Amino acid sequence: MADLILHHYWPSPFAHKTRMAMGLAGLAWTSVEIPRVPPKPLLLPLTAGYRRTPVLQVGADIYCDTHNIAQVLADAEPNADDRLFPGPSRGAALMLAEWVDQTLFPLAVRVVITEALDTAPPDFVQDRGDLYFGPGWTPEGLRADAPGVILQLEAGLGRLESCLAGLGRCDTRALSSGDVAAAFIAWFLRGRWSRGAELLRDHPHLCEVEAALEGMGQQPARTMSAEEALVIAERAAPQAPAGIQHRSDLAVGQSVGVRPYVQSSDPEVFGRLRALSTDRISIDHEHADVGHVAVHFPVAGYQIRPAD
């Protein structure tokens, strides 16, 4: 496999999660730093316009969304799969990670942004508000909803704690990609919310997992400029297979649109359908800066539609 090139910025919680996953998998990676807010002129040519962080580049194959990336990492080297999904844990780990992302993170990001309304740069607050809350959100609405959101967050963390307690102490079992998701939400709350550390004290198993993964994967093997990464993509060709592996009315070569299935400011991404399975959709994309690349998304959590 070609080098794993991670397009990210260091404070990004989802990039932090992916870096931990690479550390747990024992994989070396190359760092390309990108802007925190659009425009991202040296990233979007690779992704057909997808703007979220992080993005994993492997030659001319571009992988979006951390769930998708985790499965790519598991296939990167022979031992990586056992490290990310030890034993029969793949299904449970993927379900736990998806629940954390879809249930806990939306609550966590609400309390974090609500607290930062008067202190963070206005352009950052506006961008993240549009991205996570969709059109029509207001600071007043966030503040009014905050007490109920905190109650929901506390309930969700209690369920996560019970789940981790049922799995046993992390020093007597193999950590998995599911633990990476748990550690990521703890890291985010502890570092971005003034009440995070206090709240986490009531969840010792979660704190134990967080401590076990602290610092893992946070050192890249090397750094690279975004311009260098574009050249690598241009000189390579997509290696992911093409074809329909799942029952669908869509056909290879058909124009399709893909976007996260949430209320947000995410632009719809368009390309020619390259491949479709139960887990992943791949589109072919061309741009003057990168030539022909294949951009890969998970099926779960994304709306896919014919665009012809």
Confidence of residue 290 (pLDDT cuts 50, 70, 90): very high
Check residue 45 and give its pLDDT: 98
CATH of residue 178's domain is 1.20.1050.10
Question: Which of 213, 228, 261 represents a domain boundary (last residue)?
Answer: 213
Q: How many CB atoms lie within 10 A of CB 214?
A: 12
Structure tokens at 31: 């760092």
Q: Kindly state whether residues 174 and 150 are assigned to the same domain.
A: yes
Confidence of residue 260 (pLDDT cuts 50, 70, 90): very high
Provide, rounded to the nearest whole percent, the portion of the chain with pLDDT above 90: 93
Q: Kindly state whether residues 92 and 197 are assigned to the same domain.
A: yes
Rounded Cα distance between 25 and 80, Å, is 5
pLDDT, average across residues 194-207: 97
Number of domains in the chain: 2
| pLDDT above 90: residue 173 | no
Q: Cα-flanking dihedrals φ and ψ of residue 20, to 5°? A: -60, -40
Q: Kindly state whether residues 75 and 13 are assigned to the same domain.
A: yes
Give 131-156 pLDDT, tens digit per residue.
999 989 999 999 999 999 999 999 99
| pLDDT above 80: residue 1 | no
Q: Kindly state whether residues 131 and 192 are assigned to the same domain.
A: yes
- The alpha carbon torsion through 222, 45, 9, 235 (nearest 10 deg) reads -10
Give 76-102 pLDDT, tens digit per residue.
998 999 999 998 889 999 999 999 999
Rounded Cα distance between 280 and 298, Å, is 4
Check residue 135 and give its pLDDT: 87
Q: Kindly state whether residues 125 and 154 are assigned to the same domain.
A: yes
Q: How many CB atoms lie within 10 A of CB 245?
A: 12
Rounded Cα distance between 232 and 150, Å, is 45
Check residue 209 and give its pLDDT: 97
| Mean pLDDT (the chain, rounded) | 96
Give 29-84 pLDDT, tens digit per residue.
999 999 999 999 999 999 999 999 999 999 999 999 999 999 999 999 989 999 99
Structure tokens at 184: 């990521």
| Sequence-ordered list of residues with C-beta below 8 angstroms from that of 146, at least 6 positions apart, any chain | 110, 111, 114
Parent domain of 105: 85-213
Q: Kindly state whether residues 65 and 175 are assigned to the same domain.
A: no
Question: Which of 213, 247, 277 represents a domain boundary (last residue)?
Answer: 213
Question: Which of 213, 229, 254 represents a domain boundary (last residue)?
Answer: 213
CATH of residue 272's domain is 3.40.30.110
Q: Kindly state whether residues 180 and 167 are assigned to the same domain.
A: yes
Q: Kindly state whether residues 40 and 107 are assigned to the same domain.
A: no
Confidence of residue 170 (pLDDT cuts 50, 70, 90): confident
Q: Kindly state whether residues 125 and 233 are assigned to the same domain.
A: no
Q: Kindly state whether residues 240 and 261 are assigned to the same domain.
A: yes
Q: Kindly state whether residues 228 and 254 are assigned to the same domain.
A: yes
Asked whether the beta carbons of 21 and 70 are under 8 A apart, the reply is yes
Long-range contacts, 297-301 (Cβ 8 Å, 24+): 297/50, 297/64, 297/65, 297/68, 297/258, 297/269, 298/65, 298/67, 298/68, 300/67, 300/98, 301/65, 301/67, 301/98, 301/102, 301/260, 301/261, 301/262
Check residue 169 and give its pLDDT: 73
9 alpha-carbon distance from chain centroid:
13
Q: Kindly state whether residues 48 and 140 are assigned to the same domain.
A: no
Confidence of residue 247 (pLDDT cuts 50, 70, 90): confident
pLDDT, average across residues 169-186: 91
